């Protein structure tokens, strides 16, 4: 059986050092690391943004060589920015660019955007826009979701609901998810695996408990787990 995701010598000049990793079975992988450590650059490289070098395979397919419809069914990328100036209804934004014959109804329901689906997206709150853009990323039911800070701008309830949804997609639909996150507690609770980024490279790779209790966290973040939670190391 081919790996769910395989990256070899993946790099972006000046931003991401050559990186190799494999996701053998569909998993929820969280990218963690300080600001500027390379999380977004790794997501960009996987998505083929910024002229990366190396190779990426998703279920043995090269996403960079595919046409729009096939590529969209293989991977979807959610950028960190939630700013949208388009004067379009939210449901049209969710459906924008979907492969031929695909419908956005399931994604609209999954993020519970029905109540504001007909409102202009540039008139929604930041949290509502976030849910719209997450729904757009999910709409094509891709094999791989690349999510940059998906929980940003969401209230605590929706942060938790989103992580439960991603966990469900992995466990029941065999979707692979790679998500850049700053919330280490959410990453620890829901992820199968962490990739710890530092200075444009993968500094550590392993199970959440091992990485968040090991010396790598102190070295990369300058924090450690104390009796009252995270503390400066």
> Phi, psi at residue 109, to the nearest 5°?
-70, -40
For residue range 114-141, what is the model confidence (pLDDT) as tens digits? Answer: 999 999 999 999 999 999 999 999 999 9
Sequence-separated (6 or more) residues with CB below 8 Å from residue 56 = 5, 6, 7, 10, 45, 46, 48, 62, 63, 64
What dotted CATH number matches 5-83+140-232?
Answer: 3.40.50.300
For residue range 6-50, what is the model confidence (pLDDT) as tens digits? Answer: 999 999 999 999 999 999 999 999 999 999 999 999 999 999 999
Q: What is the pTM of this model?
A: 0.96
**Cα–Cα distances in Å, from 47 out to 119, 201, 204, 216, 225?**
30, 17, 22, 27, 34
For residue range 60-101, what is the model confidence (pLDDT) as tens digits? Answer: 999 999 998 899 999 999 999 988 888 999 999 999 878 776
- What are the domain boundaries of the chain? 5-83+140-232
């Amino acid at each position: 059986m081919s790996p769910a995701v395989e990256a070899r010598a993946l790099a972006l000049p000046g931003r991401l050092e050559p990186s190799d990793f494999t996701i053998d079975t569909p998993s929820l992988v969280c990218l963690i690391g300080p600001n500027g450590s390379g999380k977004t650059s790794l997501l960009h490289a996987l998505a083929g943004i910024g002229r990366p070098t190396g190779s990426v395979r998703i279920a043995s397919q090269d996403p960079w060589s595919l046409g729009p419809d096939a590529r969209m069914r293989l991977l979807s990328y959610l950028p960190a920015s939630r700013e949208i100036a388009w004067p379009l209804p939210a449901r049209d934004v969710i459906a924008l660019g979907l492969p031929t014959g695909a419908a956005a109804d399931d994604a609209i329901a999954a993020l519970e955007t029905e109540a504001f689906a007909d409102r202009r997206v540039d008139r929604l709150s930041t949290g509502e826009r976030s849910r719209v853009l997450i729904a757009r990323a999910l709409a094509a039911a891709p094999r791989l979701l690349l999510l940059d800070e998906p929980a940003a701008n969401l209230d605590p309830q929706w942060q938790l609901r989103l992580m439960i949804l991603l966990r469900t997609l992995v466990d029941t639909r065999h979707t692979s998810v790679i998500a850049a996150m700053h919330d280490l507690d959410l990453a620890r609770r829901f992820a199968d695996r962490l990739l710890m980024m530092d200075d444009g490279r993968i500094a550590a790779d392993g199970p959440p408990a091992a990485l968040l209790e090991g010396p790598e966290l102190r070295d990369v973040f300058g924090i450690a787990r104390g009796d009252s939670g995270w503390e400066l190391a």
